[in-house]
Every structure is written in structure tokens, then in C-alpha cells.
Amino acid sequence: MIIKDPQKLLPNQKNFDWEIPEMILEIPNHNVPLHPKTIEKLLTIAKAQKKIIAFQPILPVASELGLPPYPILAYLYPQELIHIWEQLRQKIELQTQEIFFPKISYTLISETDIDEQLHYFANHYGVAVKPSYVRVIVGNTCNLKCVMCPYHSAELKQTHSTDFFKGKKAMSWQMMQKLAKECGKGKIGIIIGSIEEPILHPKLVEFVQLCRQQGVPRVHITTNGQLLDETLSQALLEAGLTSIDISIDAATPDTYRKVRGADFNTIISNVINFIKLRDRLNIGCEIRTSFVRNKNVSLEEEKQFREYWLSKINAIFILNLAEYKESNMRLETMNKAGNSKLQYYRQKAGGRWPCLFPFTEITVLPDGKIYYCIETLFRLGFEQNIESLGNYNEQTLKNIWCGDLFNRLRQDLILNQLENRQICKSCDTWMSQIMTTSTKEEYQVLTTTITEIYRKINSND
């Protein structure tokens, strides 16, 4: 057998029987060494069939639920294909991304045992797969005090046991520049405004603009929209914002005042103006509004909200009310739509699957601390000792993402070994990774335990 392994990613070659004439083994440059068990498996299959074989590891259940795919880590192919191999390989790569037709016939090996899973998805995952997005927390303040907000509600703030939301924290411009540069280079999207009102950051527009100039493919903000006046709207759109979620939670002035303590007419006119401006400037920014199912808000009002906004924009979010109870985020109600799917995957995973968030998300706090999911953010006001997985003042995102602390968390999640991971152990958020889609009237509805997203059918917006 001819072996092409320029990066020396094969394990000690003496331990294997490479006597397979007329075949070539090629190891692409992804910096991920092959596990000895994978080699054994590939060699056994190659002895039985002289056809193209590719190895692309999957993590049981998690991969089915949307874990970003691994690149192909090994190819075996007959020597007679050497002259056309370059084209064949490219076609297979496109095929694994489901963008090539007609299909090339090859054997894809994906199954992994637990040793291989730990090797590929804990020890080497960050090297092979980049984060799907970076969640950037630009501050700790908000101009509203919505009743259900675990971060800023007047009532809930009194129960905070940490000082995270005391005083004013804002991410430094230096850190923002570093993020824009790194995410631009890595072509990683950025999400802003998870626990704070991002418009309060004095450099928000410059940050969005810099991100886009540096090559960040998507920049999203979530805002309450009260400060989104015409000048700011235009500046954000021209800076290159690609999507915006505006949290409204009401269809009437009375509910809006009770829940958000602010003026309903201001928010409606701000959003309508934003839509008009986006259309006038012809900028492809997706606009969504959201509605939290607060206590004492009727289903009739939810329906009114849905109908009003879906006549103007292409997608809305309905979120179940979440509260901080018994030291974690608990939902008032969970959507039932995905129940049978949830039971199926729980059974398949033998209880719980490895939560996808530490495989897809990296969160940077204003002081450079690193978290890994919305659940960790939910506890910011209540738990002092949430482990930070790095320090962005001293490290790069790449080093953090590939670093020991992320790897160990991924390992514990794969092994479901959560004794020392109290946050994960008591968390329900991982179940929101089950999604179901259905159609209601002219809408497509994507449902998780937490949200329902309504989108107009045939909407490209």
C-alpha cells in the first residue's frame, strides 16, 4: 500500500499490517491524528473491498441532532484512480456537505467506539471543527427592567448573590478589535446581546462595522429596541448587521407596560421604521420579533402578536417563560411537540446525549472570561463559581477552543460523567436541542422545548 501522510498523523506504523496491494491511504491535513482503532477498522475493510473508503467520525446522537460535521480524516482508494483522484476527492468532499450531484459511490465509515469518540470529540475536536458562532457579551446593563428578566428585573436583582450586575461593565474596544480580527479570520459569526442591552455600548456600531470589514460572515444583535431610533438604525444597517431580534413580549400597550415598563408606541414605531429603512436601503438584514409567554398574558394576545408581526416580517420567536429555580433555569412549560422525538433520543443515548453547546458555542464576557452556553449566562447573577474556560485577555479564541478546559468539559459530557459539573448535571437546556418542524397555515413552525419560531413558507428573509 502507498501511504500519503505528510503531517505524520498515523499512529506507530509497525503495529499494523499494511500489506494491501494496489491501494493508497491518504491522510488529509486536518491536524488530527488517527486513532489506532480507526486504522485497524479501515485496513480490515480495505482488505475486503478495493473501492473508495472515507473516514468521517460521528458522535452518536449528538451528530444526528446537529453537531457540526467533522472533515474527512482518511481516504483509501485503488491505485488505478490516482490520475483522477484529485477531482474525485473534491466531489466527495462536496457530497459530504450535501452540495454535489450526481453522487460518487464510496464507502463512508463513521461509527466510532467510546475510545475513538474521546479521541476525536474531546481531545482533538477543537482543532478540526471551529465554533459555529461566538457569543459576545458587550456589557452588563440594560435600560429596562422587564419583570421576568433574570439579569435586570428589579425584583430578581434583589435575589442576586453575585456582583456581576452591580456597577457598569463594558467590553473594551481593544477586546472588540481582537474579536473582530479573530472571528473575521476564522469566518465565525458573532451574536451580541444575550444578557445586556447592546445598544448601551458606545462602540456597538463601530464593532459591527469592524467585524464585517474583517470578514465576519454574520453579525447578529438582540435588543429591546427602545433606543433603536432612525439614526442608530441606519448606522447599524450600513455597518453591515446581518440579523436583529427585537424583544417585545406584548401586543398591547398595557401588557408592554406591565412586562417591560416602557412605551409601546416607541417600540412599534422603532421596529416599523427599521423595516422601512432596511427595505429602502435594500440591505439584507433579517428582522425578527420575540414574545415571551409571561404569566397573565393571554393566548389571544400571543395570537394577535403573531398575526401582526408575521404580516410585516418573516420570522417571529415565541419563548416559554424561564425562571431561575433550585439553582438553574427552569421553564414554566415545555413545548410538547417534540416529546416522542425526545424520548427516542434519550433512550438511544441511554439517558442524555452530550450537550451540543460546548461543541458549537464560545461565549466571551466583558472582562474576557469564557463561558460555553446560555445556561451558564443564566446563572451569572446567582453563582459565583462558574468555571471560566479561558481568559481572552491572554489567550486567543483558537487556543481556548482547542484547550484543555474545553476538551475536559467535552469529555465529561461524552462520558456523562457530571459529578463535578453541577451546572450541567442540574440543567435541562440540553433537551432544547430536539427540534421538530411542522406547518400551520402559511407558516413553518420550528419547535424546541423552549421556543417556537414561526417563519413564512418560501421566505428567504
Where do we find the cell 472533515?
71
Q: How far is the CB of 432 from ligand SF4 (least distance, A)?
A: 8
Q: 3-state class of 447 per DSSP? A: strand
- Asked if 236 and 179 touch (Cβ cutoff 8 Å), the reply is no
Question: Is residue 427 a contact residue for ligand SF4 (CB under 6 A)?
Answer: yes
Complex with ligand SF4: residue 305 or 357, whichever CB lies closer: 357
State yes or no: residue 136 binds ligand SF4 (CB under 6 A).
Answer: no
> Is the separation of the CB atoms in 275 and 283 below 8 Å?
no
Site for ligand SF4 in 202-231 (CB under 6 A): none
In the complex, the smallest distance separating the C-beta of residue 428 from ligand SF4, rounded to whole angstroms, is 8
Select the span of 116-124, 170-178, 180-188, 425-433 touching ligand SF4 (CB under 6 A): 425-433
User: What is 122-166 written as a DSSP string?
Assistant: IISHHHHS--SEEEE--BS--S---TT-TTT-HHHHTT--SSTTS
**To the nearest whole angstrom, how small is the minimum distance from the Cβ of residue 192 to ligand SF4?**
20
Alpha helices in 145-263 (DSSP H): 154-157, 173-186, 204-213, 230-239, 253-260
Instruction: Please tell me what DSSP assigns to residue 369.
Output: B
Q: Looking at beta carbons only, is 55 or 353 nearer to ligand SF4?
A: 353
Closer residue to ligand SF4 in complex, CB, 70/357: 357
Q: Of residues 429, 447, 448, 449, which one binds ligand SF4 by CB under 6 A?
A: 429
Rank residues 317 and 371 by Cβ distance to ligand SF4 and give the closer one: 371
Helix (H) or strand (E) holding 340: helix 339-349
CB of 153 to ligand SF4, least distance (A): 22
Residue 59 found at the interface with ligand SF4 (CB under 6 A):
no
**b/e map 141-173, b = 16+ CB within 10 Å:** bbebbbbbbbbbbeebeeebeeebbeeebbbee
Residue from 121, 274, 357, 401 touching ligand SF4 (CB under 6 A): that is 357
Nearest to 67 by CA among 133, 122, 135, 129: 129
CB 273 within 8 A of CB 266: no
For β-strands 23-26 and 74-78, DSSP reports them as antiparallel
Comparison of 117 and 376: residue with beta carbon closer to ligand SF4: 376
Please state, in angstroms and as integers, the Cα–Cα distance from residue 293 to each residue in 226, 248, 268, 297, 332, following that order. 20, 11, 19, 7, 9
| Smallest distance from ligand SF4 to CB 63, Å | 16
Q: Is 372 in the site for ligand SF4 (CB under 6 A)?
A: yes
Residue 321: closest CA among 202, 148, 116: 148
Mark the segment that binds ligand SF4 (CB under 6 A) among 125-133, 283-291, 311-319, 371-379.
371-379
Residue from 92, 109, 319, 355 binding ligand SF4 (CB under 6 A): 355
Q: Which residues inside 395-424 make contact with ligand SF4, applying CB under 6 A?
A: 423-424
CA distance 127 to 398: 8
Query: Residue length, the chain?
Result: 461
Residue whose CB is less far from ligand SF4, 94 or 349: 349
- Is 122 near ligand SF4 (CB under 6 A)? no
We find the least distance from the C-beta atom of residue 421 to ligand SF4, in angstroms, to be 7
Which H helix or E strand runs over 376? Answer: helix 374-378
Minimal distance, residue 413 CB to ligand SF4, in Å: 7
Closest CA to 189 of 356, 402, 361, 357: 361
Q: How far is CA 392 from each of CA 219, 255, 398, 445, rounded to the nearest angstrom?
A: 20, 41, 10, 38
Residues 246, 315, 373, 402: which binds ligand SF4 (CB under 6 A)?
Answer: 373
Judged by CB under 6 A, the stretch of 100-108, 177-185, 370-378, 453-461 that binds ligand SF4 is 370-378
β-partners of residue 76 are 25, 53
Return the residue of 286, 375, 412, 452 that touches ligand SF4, per CB under 6 A: 375
How many residues in the shown chain lie near ligand SF4 by CB under 6 A? 12
Which lies closer to ligand SF4 via its Cβ, residue 301 or residue 375? 375
Minimum CB–partner distance for residue 418 and ligand SF4 (Å)? 8
**Binding footprint of ligand SF4 on the chain (CB under 6 A):** 355, 357-358, 372-373, 375-376, 423-424, 427, 429-430
